[in-house]
Structure 1
Amino acid sequence: MRRVLVVGPCGAGKSTLAVELAQKLDLPLFHLDKLNWQPGWIESSREQLIERIEEVISGESWLLEGTYGSTLPQRLPRADTVVYLDYPVSLCLWRLLKRIRHWRGKVRPDMTEGCEERFDLSFFFYVAGWRWGPGKRLEERLAPFMDKVIRLKSPSATRLWLAGL
């Protein structure tokens, strides 16, 4: 594993896993949120984001955390491993609420400086509808690459897999 993607619903624990996995595999870690968001929650243009992603994936080794489904066509062919945290949405929503409570008004380590954690109702509904929208599209994009996908269905399965590396 030298070129790794970590994908899944918001609140699944992608960032936490990515930090641990990058250390274990000695890979440079990149968070898509940091590549996309500018201070004050200003979103980069699609062109800027794609350019930043291309710069990362042109390297020989990397770990890129974040789903950002519209950018998967650029990333999937170059990745040698895709770790898919396919956790229940109810768990992700619970974790999202815990994250907001813990980080509210502060910047998470995986986020751009100047983007303080906050509650966003539309984001909450986005996660709640994961299975019918973003998750379904993710499944379609991953389908041709299933030979490199490691699908983990629970935190305990993730811990077992990680311990076995």
Structure 2
Amino acid sequence: MIIGRPGSGKSTFSVMLQKSLNIPLFHLDKYFFIADWVPREYENFLSLQKELVAKPCWIIDGNSSKSFEIRYRESDMCLYFNLPKWLCYWRVFKRLFYKASEIDDRAAGCNETVRWSLLSYMWNYEQRINPLLNALKNQYPKVKFIELRSPYDVAHLMRVLTHKEEYSIVTGF
């Protein structure tokens, strides 16, 4: 399970991890939106998520905090991309002009845009998410929770997960 503010690098990391480990990858935005940023009927979206987490192995990239628990309780690991706001805002604006072609994380017809609702969502992300994550960590202690706070943390974790670097006691992963 990979979560974090838009622009934090979730999808890029997920694609790289999927290619390295050959684990099925599911981007939640492809299931949440139908087209043109129109949300799918919510009960249908929840049903689709339950089907995804029932699979034996998966990487699910995306937020949808109302349904965190569906994914969290079935996860071995939760990666929380909590990178600096300024960096995430920069990346969101940058991807208006460039997005790697191998990152196919959008539903058909959902072109890259920057809307006021997205900027507001990004600004208030921690206030909404952190209390929920704390509750889930307490409720499901078997799930390994890793918070990534910098691009260095992200790169280091990728090397660890793909067995290119040893686990570090200093960083905790």
**2:108 corresponds to:** 113
The share of aligned pairs that are identical, in percent, is 29
Residues in 2 aligned to 1:22 and 1:44: alpha-carbon distance in whole angstroms = 26
CA–CA distance in structure 1, aligned partners of residues 73 and 124 of structure 2:
27
Q: Which residue is equivalent to 1:158?
A: 154
Return 5+ residue gaps in structure 2 as ranges.
162-173
**Counterpart in the other structure of 1:136:** 130
Cα deviation, 1:93-131, whole Å, max 9, x if unaligned, reads: 11111112336xxxx621011111112012112212223
Deviates further, 31-40 or 134-143: 134-143
Query: What SS is found at the alignment partner of 1:101?
Result: coil
For the structure 1 residues 14 and 99, does the alpha-carbon distance in structure 2 shift closer, same or farther, using more than 3 Å as the test? same
Q: Shift of the alpha carbon at 1:22?
A: 1.3
C-alpha RMSD of matched pairs (Å): 1.9
Moved over 6 A (4+): none
1:32 corresponds to 2:20: no
- Could you say what secondary structure the match of 2:96 adopts? helix
Q: Which has the higher helix share?
A: 1
CA distance in 2, matches of 1:73, 1:128: 23
1:126 corresponds to 2:108: no
Amino acid at match of 2:22: D
Q: Note the residue ranges of structure 1 that are not aligned, 5 or more in a row.
A: none
Amino acid at match of 2:109: G
Question: As a proportion of its length, which structure holds more strand?
Answer: 1
TM-score, normalised via structure 1 length: 0.87
Q: Is the 8 A contact 1:9 1:135 kept in 2?
A: no
> How many residues are paired up?
157
User: Under a length normalisation based on structure 2, what TM-score does the superposition of the two structures give?
Assistant: 0.83
- Per the TM alignment, residue 138 of structure 1 is displaced from its structure 2 partner at its CA by 4.2
Q: 1:68 aligns with which of 40, 48, 64?
A: 64
* TM-fit CA distance, 1:36: 0.8
